[in-house]
Chain A
Amino acid sequence: MVARKKKTDSAPAHPKERYLYWYELMLRIRRFEERALVMYGQQKIRGFCHVYIGQEAVAAGIESAIRREDCIVTAYRQHGTALGRGVTSREAMAELFGKATGIVKGKGGSMHFFSAKHRYFGGNGIVGAQIPIGTGIAFAEKYKGTDNLCVTMFGDGAARQGALHESFNMAMAWKLPVLYIVENNGYAMGTSVSRTSNVVELYKLGASYDMPSEPVDGMNPEAVHEAVSRAAEYIRAGNGPYFLEVRTYRYKGHSVSDPAKYRTKEEVEAYKERDPIKLIESIIRDKEIATEQELQAIRDLIKEEIDDCVRFAEESPWPDPSELYTDNYVQADYPFIRD
């Protein structure tokens, strides 16, 4: 009996491919972001640059739980989300460099990847703006009669914008297929969640609209996957929106220029102890889901991929200055003021 129970306990909760998928995606994001920071230091990347290090389990757990046809919209901390959608490291790094081969031809930079073919509706630089936009993307899916949903992601800081309440209300009133995910990483720039409201458990914001809402461990892709799967099933059944508060952490400062003096070393270390990549690696080892060689092969693949994407970005051309005048209007011969 005891032996049996032990065996059940140690059985992995998910198929092998999923563990390897999480491991590979999270490692891709981590290594991509680490390299982006190095490239920023070398001034190859300019402007604002907000990295996803620490939050990888969120992208991984969402992507394994939803469909490719589902939509995602998020904020400016979005390299990881885009890589999760399937944007390539090459397209992403070239965009950070501002090169013509980037995912948006050097027009968007770090904050604004978009990829229509991946149903990725962008990184938005205006805090909270994507909350109604994601609601509208879901509105269109319902209008068109699909069973796709829109994952609408935002930060804990964004959760304090009035747009959240307007969106929650309409999404509930109209039963829209939208999955709201707040990535609660504890801080909006230098402001901790507890300094922005008396309601610090963000999932509770759904309650005033009777929206099903729950907190999720965002350092664990298994937990994120399971919560998103449940929510997605509920939404696809036509029940309307769902709200998840995914509790996560960013290891780095808000952006490259933030020394992050508003939090303690101990706090950062405590989260690093729960690192999602280490966690998945140890589950894979302990439960003998894959061999050390298989893991090493993934690590080698990612290393090669990240080296390659930097080379690719380096060698790519700048966008021609005349491209400043393209993509402002769909109308091809729009008469710009040029004098």
Chain B
Amino acid sequence: MGRMLALRDALREAMSEEMRRDDTVFLMGEEVAEYNGAYKVSKGMLDEFGSKRVIDTPIAELGFAGIGVGAAMNGLRPIIEFMTWNFAVLAFDQIVNNAAKTLSQSAGQFKCPIVFRGPTGSAGQLAQQHSQTFESWMANVPGLKVISCVDPADAKGLLKSAIRDDDPVCVMESELLYGHTGEVPDGEYLVPIGVAAVRRHGTDVTLVSFNKMMLPTLEAADILASEGISAEVIDLRTIRPLDARTVIESVKKTNRIVVIDESWPFAGVSAEVAYVVQKHAFDYLDAPVTRINAADTSLGYAPTFVEEYLPNAGKIVRAVKEVMYMRY
């Protein structure tokens, strides 16, 4: 039996359950406590856990991320919330130079079990500085794991795994989809890091996506189905480590793949997926690996820019017809 829960509520359940289980887990970030979270993810957590474990910080991303790293090296399990990943850029020094490297530098003496989490991606007309995706940035760094999933049930199970993981994990959420609902199982469960989910089975083409782009991808699969094209849809859920096997097995069956990724195209997640597919399923491909990304530009404010910039179902359908050598 399950319940319908919004993504924000599922994420809160994950944090609260882990904090009840393990008193070394704490949550720290801007507006997480008294304001109940900028996007209400941590609503009520201050009341339950108190100000020792649900901690409001000043606006000082580099500082509090570093405090998290130090606390993790010294036996605690911090959850560091960034109001969005755009602001985590200030903290990349601590994430990239320290969280990711502590284990290696100390020859295994110090681990860094920390979760950095917050929303990523565009969220409407927020313009250049507030519309960026960061999966490929973080996934480029050995030592980090990266999760990016908006399905409430899976996001909950993955966040619990991330909190229990002994390595640093970056968790990418979605401002626009905090209210996105899905059935969440009752009781205790985990979703393993590094395993993709097949959201829809199909035979003609493989669609690979993650995070918010799963919505237009599934919408495109519906449209394609109505035109007699059977798409298999894979939700990567974890970006690093990438579940290449699930993607490759699917392509071996469908012989065609379109990757839908809100990151910019250059060296993005879609490029990595394209690489593993051509490397391990070259002989199975009936068409070039194709991708739909955000435009290779900064995102301006006007609605005309947002429309032009983002992947959408129409663009995905067109790409599928292209790899199927159909007219559109």
Contact = CB atoms under 8 A, between A and B. Distances in A.
A48 B129 CA distance: 12
B128 interface: yes
Contact of B31 (A48, A189, A321, A328): A189
Contact of B127 (A112, A262, A320, A328): A112
B60 interface: yes
A196 B295 contact: no
Interface string A152-163: 000001101110
B302 A127 contact: no
Contact of A189 (B35, B89, B302): B35
B302 A160 contact: no
B296 A338 contact: yes
Interface residues of A, number: 45
A133 to B, nearest CB: 13
A77 to B, nearest CB: 14
A107 B297 CA distance: 12
Given A106-B300, A126-B86, A262 B35 contact: yes
A319 B300 CA distance: 10
Q: How large is the interface on B (under 10, 10 to 19, 20 to 34, 35 or more residues)?
A: 35 or more
Query: Which secondary structure dominates where chain A touches chain B?
Result: loop
Contacts, number: 132
Interface string A67-107: 00000000000000000000000000001001110000011
Given A319-B302, A324-B297, A337 B266 contact: yes
Contacts of B50: none
B130 interface: yes
B24 interface: no
A208 to B, nearest CB: 17
Given A47-B125, A126-B129, A318 B304 contact: yes
Contact of B59 (A106, A107, A158, A319): A158
Contacts of B87: 126-127
Contacts of A195: 34, 56
A117 B162 CA distance: 50
Contacts of A189: 30-31, 35, 38
A229 B38 CA distance: 39
Contact of B302 (A126, A190, A318, A336): A318
B312 to A, nearest CB: 13
Contacts of A157: 58-59
B194 interface: no
B301 A98 contact: yes
B302 A162 contact: no
A136 interface: no
Interface in A290-338: 318-325, 328, 336-338
B307 interface: yes
Contact of B128 (A112, A160, A323, A325): A112
B298 interface: yes
Given A47-B127, A48-B126, A324 B305 contact: yes
B34 A323 contact: no
B309 interface: yes
A319 B126 contact: no
B142 interface: no
Contacts of B126: 47-48, 109
B304 A325 contact: no
B192 interface: no
Contacts of A322: 308
A108 interface: yes
Interface in A139-164: 157-158, 160-162
Nearest to B38: A189
Interface string A101-141: 00000111111100000000000111110000000000000
17 contacts: A46-B125, A106-B304, A107-B128, A107-B301, A109-B126, A111-B127, A111-B130, A124-B129, A160-B59, A161-B90, A162-B63, A191-B31, A195-B34, A320-B304, A321-B305, A321-B308, A324-B300
Interface of B: 30-31, 34-35, 38, 56, 58-63, 86-87, 89-90, 124-130, 265-266, 290-291, 293, 295-305, 307-309
- Top 10 nearest A-B pairs by Cβ distance? A109-B301, A98-B302, A160-B58, A190-B35, A106-B302, A107-B300, A321-B308, A196-B58, A47-B125, A125-B129
